[in-house]
Amino acid sequence: MHENYGRFDDLETDISNGQNEVSFEIWLMAESLAKAVFSNFAVLYSNNFCNLLGNITCIPAEKGFPIIGGKTSGKRVLCSYSKAIVMKDWPLAWSCAPILSRQSVVPPDYSWAALHLRSPPSFQTVLRHLQAIGKNNGEDTLAHWSAAPGSKTIDEASFEVLKYLENAWDSLSSSDMLEVSKKNWQ
């Protein structure tokens, strides 16, 4: 019998990170809140408002693989903009950062810095992702990879990470470079 039978494996445990899935109703109400904020953004916008909003856990997102082709494999969560990533960056941090999977909750580009939302995500976020998906020699990641039509293959997602690292490499500290070059994260 497999030793993980009936339990979360390492990847599922890392992704869930102790955070319970919110109900679909709460998730939709949070989306309505975000829509209301953005429909009044011209009146509400200020650096102070954005700084506060960027740190409040009230934005609907997904933790884990995003919704692709109408099918979800991630958990519905609430997050802050400062902890989230945008959908186009999901290959860089899906295992450790909530994904803003609904366009309606993505703020206008001009407000991202004030809300502490960045694209691409920070190096530390990408490194945590690499450490999570690299555990157990990546076997857990391979076992859970979505084969849904329209989803990226693991090779395509890995290529996105390699492109990110290539672009960021010259700006990394020697300790960051050493951390990336470790063969296996435990």
What digits encode the pLDDT tens for the residues 88-116? 999 999 999 999 989 999 999 999 999 99
163-172 confidence digits (pLDDT tens)? 999 999 999 9
The structural domain count of the chain equals 1
Q: pTM, whole model, 2 decimals?
A: 0.83
For residue 183, the SS3 value is: coil
Give the range of the structural domain holding residue 164, as residue numbers without chain letter: 1-186
- Per cent of the chain over pLDDT 70 is 84
pLDDT at 111: 96
Stretches where the chain sits below pLDDT 70 are 1-19, 67-73, 183-186
Q: Find the DSSP H helices in the chain.
A: 10-16, 24-39, 41-44, 47-53, 90-93, 112-115, 123-134, 139-144, 154-168, 174-181
> Which helix H or strand E contains 79, and what residues bound it?
strand 75-79
What lies within 8 Å, CB to CB, of 144 at 6+ separation is 11, 12, 65
